Amino acid sequence: MSTASESRQARIIDELRVFIKKVLSDPTVAVKCVEIARRYRDDPNANQKIAEEISANTTVRIPEQWSEADRMFLDILRDVLDDEAALY
């Protein structure tokens, strides 16, 4: 693996560690994130709206320029909603 790739992976892991710490410190964060994602799921620019509202209403900050970890988090939120829809 190249040094640039290793560095990128380390940065993603660090961002995800910070996020997981926030979720474990405040269990309401995960619930709020899913509720926000549910609200905007079918809107145009849903990911942008979800990111903005999560940043405004939780301790999770998603910057305007998304990192790979930010994109991964938004994709995981969609997966959670898809799994939730499949149950019904």
Model confidence at 1, in pLDDT bands (50, 70, 90)? low
Domain ranges across the chain: 3-86
Residues 37-61: b if buried by 16+ CB within 10 A, e if exposed: beebbeeeebbebbbebbeeebebe
**Residue 22's pLDDT band (cuts 50, 70, 90):** confident
Which pLDDT band holds residue 4 (cuts at 50, 70, 90)? Answer: confident
Q: What beta strand segments (E) does the chain contain?
A: none
Q: Tell me what the mean pLDDT of segment 7-14 comes to.
A: 90
| 34-48 residue pLDDT tens | 999 999 999 999 999
Q: pTM for the whole thing?
A: 0.83
